[in-house]
Amino acid sequence: MSWYTLVVMAVAAERVAELAVARRNAEWSLARGAVESGRGHYPVMVALHTGLLAGCAAEVGLGGRPFVAALGVPMVVVLAAAQALRWWCVSTLGPRWNTRVIVVPGLPLVDRGPYRWLSHPNYVAVVAEGIALPLVHGAWITALVFTALNGVLLGVRIACENTALGSAGEPVAAGASG
- What tens digit of pLDDT does each residue of 37-53 get? 999 999 999 999 999 99
pLDDT at 173: 37
CA distance 125 to 5: 21
CA distance 19 to 28: 14
Question: Are 80 and 141 within 8 A, CB to CB?
Answer: no
Specify which residues 102 forms β-bridges with: 36
Taking 60 as the threshold, does the pLDDT of residue 175 lie above it? no
Taking 70 as the threshold, does the pLDDT of residue 172 lie above it? no
What is the end-to-end Cα distance of the chain in Å, rounded? Answer: 34
Query: What is the fold of 3-167?
Result: Four Helix Bundle (Hemerythrin (Met), subunit A) (1.20.120)
Average pLDDT for the chain: 93
pLDDT at 166: 87
